[in-house]
Amino acid sequence: MSEEDKPPLTDRLASSAFLAIMSAVKLLPYEQRIRSVGWIFGHVVGPVAGWRRRIRANLALARPDLTQDEIRALERAVPANAGKSVAEIYSGKEFTDRIEASDPLEGPGLPALEQAFETGRPVIIACAHFGNYDAMRSALVARGWPVGALYRPMNNEAFNQHYVPAISAISEPLFPRGRAGLAAMLRFLKGGGWLALGFDQHDRHAPELRFFDLPSKTVLTPAELAVRYDALLLPVHGLRRDDGLSFRVLVGHPIEHGEPKDMMQALNDDLEMQVRRHMDQWFWVHRRWKQIG
């Protein structure tokens, strides 16, 4: 790689620092490792990255009923969950073996998934930055089900060079956002593949739906693809249990085909219900609402 092709120095330094931390914690036993990275994110990364300010701002909009003590607890717990998820991804086979051994799939939509696999029907898995997204992928793949995912490459190119192999080790195929990735993704779906698509981030080109009773730009792509390819559409979330290490992978009710806006509103409503039950597990750091700077 020529000097011109290398990622910026700041990106390389940030990536190197992250890899140094992950190399150090890999010396720890699995459970201690996951908890340690959670602590680092909750008490160091969160404040340094400005995540606590964003969490407070989002909660002021969506949950103005929370007490200051509850907000302060979430300022630590939300980054801690993100840190644990990162540590789990970079633990590779140790993580996926634990998921496979526990077979954590449950929920009202599980029979519909089993039937889709038996009949070769395409599936759109509506997912969110909630719990651990990769616990969901691991649990589905452990059943032998054909799960692919669309992902957005990291802005930090140096980080992306080790992040993509880490998430690819959990399951493939993965499709990067962009024209080439989209074409491959559609071929996979048409062939009966199962595609995990996120829907919980602000998209300025998307129509305005409701989330926590606030105007929320919400992509229609999961619903539109489900209708176009007669795919089963349902929400699936990897919910962290109280021990902080194991998971329930909850398969929600299938979404009836109809107007894409109505289908996506049903998914927003389902996600809101789950987030209210597990406030520390949704990534309250995103600019989900345009009011937040």
Q: What percent of the chain has pLDDT over 90?
A: 78
Q: Is residue 4 part of a domain?
A: no
Q: Is residue 20 part of a domain?
A: yes
Q: Is residue 291 part of a domain?
A: no
Digit-coded pLDDT (tens) for 39-77: 999 999 999 999 999 999 999 999 999 999 999 999 999
Q: Is residue 292 part of a domain?
A: no
Q: What is the pTM of this model?
A: 0.92
Q: Is residue 119 part of a domain?
A: yes
What's the domain count of the chain?
A: 1
pLDDT for position 290: 75
pLDDT at 2 over 80: no
Per the structure, the complete domain to which residue 156 belongs is given by 9-281
pLDDT for position 226: 98
How would residue 162 be classed by pLDDT, with cut points 50, 70 and 90?
A: confident
Residue closest to 91 by CA, chosen among 12, 170, 38, 171 = 170
**144 CB burial (10 A radius; 0-12, 13-18, 19+):** exposed
Q: d(Cα 246, Cα 248) in Å, to the nearest integer? A: 7
Q: Is residue 259 part of a domain?
A: yes
Q: What is the largest CA-CA distance in the chain?
A: 54
* Identity of the amino acid at 148: G
pLDDT at 1 over 60: no
Higher pLDDT among residues 160 and 92, named by residue: 92
